[in-house]
Chain A
Amino acid sequence: MSTFTAAHRSYVMSLYKRTLKNSLDWTVRRDLWRAEAMMIRAEFERNRDVHDPRALAVILEKAEANLAKKKHPDPVISPLYPGGTKWERNTPPAMGPLYDHLSAPAH
């Protein structure tokens, strides 16, 4: 059982995933990216046992700042995800009335 809260764990995992994805956006090739991914993993593993909230806040803030500095200006977005090239394409139209006046409370 982890001593961290679920929210904290989910945040750190999100940060880890974002860092990995950003790194892949720059590197493109997965075989070269593997080494970088290992380094990112090692960086996260190194701070695994830090439990002091103040020290953690500093570490996470530094990681976020580092990520923001290296952020790719044109990140890969999967076509079907928000911002992707197929997102919102031909969304099915609402077949019924947009607002059902007849069943509204006033009637």
Chain B
Amino acid sequence: MYLSIIILPLLGSIVSGFMGRKVGVTGSLFITCTCLILSSVLMTVAFYEVGLCGSPVSINLGSWIDSEIMSISWEFYYDQLTVSLGLAVLYCSSLIHIYSISYMSEDPHVQRFMSYLSAFTAGMLVLISGGNYFVMFIGWETIGVVSYLLINFYFTRIQANKASILALTMNRVGDMGLSIGFFAIFSLFGSLNYSTIFSLSPYMNETAITIISLLLFMGAMAKSANIPFHSWLPGSMEAPTPVSALLHAATLVTAGIYLLLRSSPILEYSSTALLVITLIGATTAFFAATSGLVQNDLKRIIAFSTISQLGYMVMAVGLSQYNVALMHTVNHAFFKALLFLGAGAVIHSFADQQDIRKMGGLIKFLPFTYSVMLVGSLSLLATPFLTGFYSKDLILELAFGQYTFSGFYAYILGTITAGITAFYSFRLISLVFLTVPNGPKFNYLHSHESNLAIIIPLVILALFSILFGFVFSDLFVGVGSDFFGNSLFIHPNNISIIEAEFSLNLIIKLLPVILSLIGSVLAIYLYHNNPEFINQLTDNSISKKIYGFLNGKYYFDVIYNHYFISKGLLLGYTISKELWGFVLGPYGLSTAFTNTGKNIAKLDTGIVTTYALYITLGLLSLLFVVFAPILIDVSMLSEFRLVIIYLASIILVLSFPSLNNKN
């Protein structure tokens, strides 16, 4: 059963991708959706068995690499962490598959699309159920590649090409850090198995643990779009909306968080790494929220809110509250998928318009979509007793409850971010649904509520966005809950749930909620009731500059393009063509072989005396090499070495480019 959970989406993907023409559009939709729904049902059973009944499952499929110093096996491990995240992944993925039936119905490449979606789900499942870092890394790379394919789904669009290449290269930078982290883990622990590493980590040098933690965090930063590797996520909105919902809100971006959660027994022994993680997480949350304030693309606003929420999760990891981070990841998956799918429904019914400045007044035309978007937004801004409240608010309380500098920093930035989040969420709601219609009449005449395949996923996700937190909060983050068992490790020194629950002043607890309330009311007032004020505000050059700065994402892309990318390319060129171009590297090897061939050809002069010289030289060399043991009294091993040195020097001499300067 546990392997079927992974295999089913993979099979669906293979059938839909390689036999797409055979099974047709309907067949591919039916097969992939059925596989995903079956997989979700099995994951629910797994959640019951592993999570609720507390019996982790380990499956060893056999050895993969078995050298003397390293042994890696195909191992899958289902513990509470895996099944909790797996539940969110598979539920969101299944609903998004169903949603795509209607959303992609007019696209000519449905089979390819469904194949990618299922392949992504399979990769994500391998990632979260891998039993060692190596198997996890396979899933990690799979979702990276499929993310590239999905962002580039409309491959005829230049913007999509650019966005996908940016996403892939940005993730490669993180993967570089992650790979070095794995090398470091292997050199320190001699193994990549979770069990070995986690049981040994308390005894290791703290500096080494810090280096490893920071390297792992580099991979997580790129995957989870934290500063400074965030800039690929807004661009990835080039993908169709279901992809934005699945990859760039609910699942792919949580892979980095998963890596950090899984590595909790390593991170806990490095206070420096935890400090860095907290600071980066809090900064990311604040940065993305301020950028999201002035975005005008419907999907882009939600993308910035995703980066902001990922900042919250990373912040919770840095504060050592892994279970709260996981809870927020799962909650976020549900309400963010809802927001994206709702946005997709709006875009689809409004002539594919994405600019919120050309919408308005849609509440009369799309009342159902408005309701679900409102639920998603309220859940996102942590309205009391909705899903988001149980994790987001707790993260801020726990931050304050640490009574440290980093905790205080996280609390202040997180609380301000909560207010800003409410503001931009309700700015979206106001501009899209509430204000007077600003779009073309044609779009309004043709706007309509979506059909059942879109409505069902929205209803289910809306229910999850309302109820999931209420039902599961005590299990996941309740005081004294032992649900996670060994899967998450919080060092006893870092536990602050008691302080957060019982020692905080009421105003500290209520401040985020109050700010959220003020933010949302202000947004409705400024964008719906009194828009003159905003217009006057942006009517001078300083405001326009600030607007441009925030709208341009703090000009991070400009800085990268001007200072890093060109320099990096130049450095790469220098290394590959000039520094190592002579013998080493692919370029060096290829030129060396070409030169060798040319030089050997030059020996063919057509003059008999030259050939006689070659024969004499060859004979002398052969005599020397063969009779070396007799002549200079060496052993057989040295004799063998002599032959190798002889051959190598011939090739080296021949590979010089200017042996004969005739050409």
Residues of A at the B interface (CB closer than 8 Å) are 25-32, 69-70, 73-74, 76-77, 79, 85-91
Main secondary structure of the interface of B (DSSP, over half): loop
The 8 Å CB contact of A32, one of B157, B360, B535, B547, is: B535
B480 within 8 A of A: no
Q: Which residues of B lie under 8 Å from residue A91 when comparing CB positions?
A: 156
Q: Which residues of A lie under 8 Å from residue B108 when comparing CB positions?
A: 90
Q: Which residues of A lie under 8 Å from residue B532 when comparing CB positions?
A: 32
The 8 Å CB contact of A88, one of B154, B431, B544, B548, is: B154
Q: Which residues of A lie under 8 Å from residue B535 when comparing CB positions?
A: 26-27, 32
Using A76-B357, A85-B354, A88-B157 as known contacts, list a sample of 15 further A-B pairs with CB atoms less than 8 Å apart, ordered by residue number in A: A28-B357, A28-B438, A29-B435, A29-B436, A31-B436, A32-B531, A32-B532, A73-B547, A73-B552, A76-B296, A77-B355, A79-B351, A79-B352, A79-B353, A88-B156
Shortest C-beta distance, B382 to chain A (Å), equals: 28
B509 within 8 A of A: no
Are B544 and A29 closer than 8 Å at their CB atoms? no
CB contacts between A and B, total, < 8 Å? 59
How long is the Cα–Cα vector from A69 to B538 in the complex, in angstroms? 13
How long is the Cα–Cα vector from A10 to B438 in the complex, in angstroms? 28
- 1/0 per residue, CB under 8 A from A, across B531-557: the answer is 110010011010010011001100000
Q: Which residues of A lie under 8 Å from residue B544 when comparing CB positions?
A: 70
The 8 Å CB contact of A85, one of B158, B352, B436, B551, is: B352
Identify 19 residue pairs between A and B in the complex whose beta-carbon atoms are under 8 Å apart, listed by A's number: A25-B357, A27-B535, A28-B431, A28-B438, A28-B531, A29-B436, A32-B532, A32-B535, A74-B295, A74-B296, A76-B357, A79-B351, A79-B353, A85-B297, A87-B159, A88-B154, A88-B158, A89-B154, A90-B108
Shortest C-beta distance, B15 to chain A (Å), equals: 23
Closest to A27 in B: B535
How long is the Cα–Cα vector from A32 to B158 in the complex, in angstroms? 36
How long is the Cα–Cα vector from A88 to B157 in the complex, in angstroms? 5
How long is the Cα–Cα vector from A16 to B541 in the complex, in angstroms? 21
B107 within 8 A of A: yes
B577 within 8 A of A: no
Shortest C-beta distance, A24 to chain B (Å), equals: 8
Are B354 and A79 closer than 8 Å at their CB atoms? yes
Closest to A36 in B: B535
Q: Which residues of B lie under 8 Å from residue A88 when comparing CB positions?
A: 154, 156-159
Are B156 and A90 closer than 8 Å at their CB atoms? yes
Q: Which residues of B lie under 8 Å from residue A31 when comparing CB positions?
A: 436
The 8 Å CB contact of A90, one of B107, B351, B435, B436, is: B107
Q: Give 6 nearest A-B pairs by CB, closest first.
A: A73-B548, A88-B157, A91-B156, A89-B154, A28-B357, A73-B551
B448 within 8 A of A: no
Are A87 and B157 closer than 8 Å at their CB atoms? yes
Q: Which residues of A lie under 8 Å from residue B552 when comparing CB positions?
A: 73
Are A30 and B438 closer than 8 Å at their CB atoms? yes
Q: Which residues of B lie under 8 Å from residue A25 when comparing CB positions?
A: 357
Shortest C-beta distance, B495 to chain A (Å), equals: 45
Closest to B240 in A: A89
Shortest C-beta distance, B433 to chain A (Å), equals: 14
Closest to A70 in B: B544
B358 within 8 A of A: yes
Q: Which residues of A lie under 8 Å from residue B438 when comparing CB positions?
A: 28-30
